[in-house]
Every structure is written in C-alpha cells, then in structure tokens.
Chain A
Amino acid sequence: AQSVTQPDIHITVSEGASLELRCNYSYGATPYLFWYVQSPGQGLQLLLKYFSGDTLVQGIKGFEAEFKRSQSSFNLRKPSVHWSDAAEYFCAVGARTGGFKTIFGAGTRLFVKA
C-alpha cells in the first residue's frame, strides 16, 4: 500500500540556520512527489513537485528537495531559514487509483527561534 512517512513531528531551528525535513515514501510505481506547506490560518500551498527528470527540484521560497529512489526518500531542504518559514510541512505522493488521490504524511511542524 502507498504511504508517506515524516519521522519528525516537529523541528526547531534558529533563524538563518539550514533546514532538512525528512520524508520517506512507499509506492510501487514511479512516484509523483510533493511538498506542501500550511501556514497558520492558511490553506495548503504547493512548495515543489517531482514528476520525472532531474532528481534535485527547486521550489518556491528558496526550498529544494532531492528524490533518492534507492532510499525512497524526498527530503526538503533550505539553506537559511527565515522566521516566516514557521509552518507545517507535508510530504505527499500522488497515487493513481480508480481515479487519482494524494497521500499525505503526518506533517512536520517547523518552529523558528530568533
């Protein structure tokens, strides 16, 4: 069965420090992978996606993620965190069923300290 694991429920980093959020997936075919962010009081915003091609993908707000098939991972990174990055981050895989659906991880809440 398809699944997404985000092992860290919450992470705290200092402003200006680097960030890596972990994500592992389980999917039988070529995965379609996403990272979404939800800021307080906001909806889900797509940060970046991987469908095929270059395994290092760039997203909005200075985020990037690297697809590693051998490790079934799609970790999200940012070299320097800003206070406005405090939010909840969701890794997800797109799955084709009778229709289509997105399977989400449990989310990682990021706290940024001054």
Chain B
Amino acid sequence: EAGVTQFPSHSVIEKGQTVTLRCDPISGHDNLYWYRRVMGKEIKFLLHFVKESKQDESGMPNNRFLAERTGGTYSTLKVQPAELEDSGVYFCASSQGLAGPYEQYFGPGTRLTVT
C-alpha cells in the first residue's frame, strides 16, 4: 500500500511568487491534514479536511494560504503571494474514518524556501 505522497519535495521561489503544494493521501483515508514546521520551531497544525470539507482551518496563518481538496482525494495548498516567513517544511498527513482519527500517517514533507 502506497503511503502519503507529497510533491514537490523541495521548492525554491522568490518572495511574491505563488507556489502550490500537492498531497496524495493513502487511498481510502477520508481525513487529510496539513502541518508546517518553520525553522527552529515545532510542527504546527494548519487544517483538517474530512473528504472535501474543511473541518478545522484554525491553524491557517493568513489569507495568503488556500487549501483545497477537490473530490475528497488529493489536496493542494497554495501560497500566494509567498513571503520570507513562509519558508519551512510542509507536511501532509492522512487517517482513516472517524473511528480512528488520531493515528495519522505523514508524508515526507515539502521543503519550501522563499528568497
């Protein structure tokens, strides 16, 4: 069974540009999460999808970040326009239905560098 995959693995962009990160969860997982780790800080929750619906987006930093999950399958996280403080590693995770929401399987992360 394939794990959570993320694309790209690394992205370097200039301040003001747009970047879109993609996450493919484990097949059959209704729950999809985005997290971010800024350099030297802890891993922080961004948002949680159940299928295509945003269940909790309390961790999204500001309106420059837009997450979507069309059809309840893969998800994208767009940053527009990117700022220097957006640099960090963005992790995606997925989990099965509501019976087991806490055991999350993480992808390898996308390292975003904004210059």
Contact with A along B10-35 (1 / 0, CB 8 A): 00000000000000000000010101
Inter-chain contact B107/A43, CB cutoff 8 Å: yes
Interface size class of A (residues with CB under 8 A): 20 to 34
Chain A, 88-114, CB within 8 A of any chain B CB: 90, 94, 96-107
B interface secondary structure, majority: strand
Inter-chain contact B45/A32, CB cutoff 8 Å: no
Contact (A36, B58) CB under 8 Å given A103-B45, A106-B42? no
Give the total of B residues in contact with A, Cβ under 8 Å: 27
Inter-chain contact A51/B48, CB cutoff 8 Å: no
B1 in the interface, Cβ–Cβ < 8 Å?
no
B contact residues vs A (CB 8 Å cutoff): 4, 31, 33, 35, 41-45, 48, 50, 55-56, 58-59, 91, 93, 95, 101-109
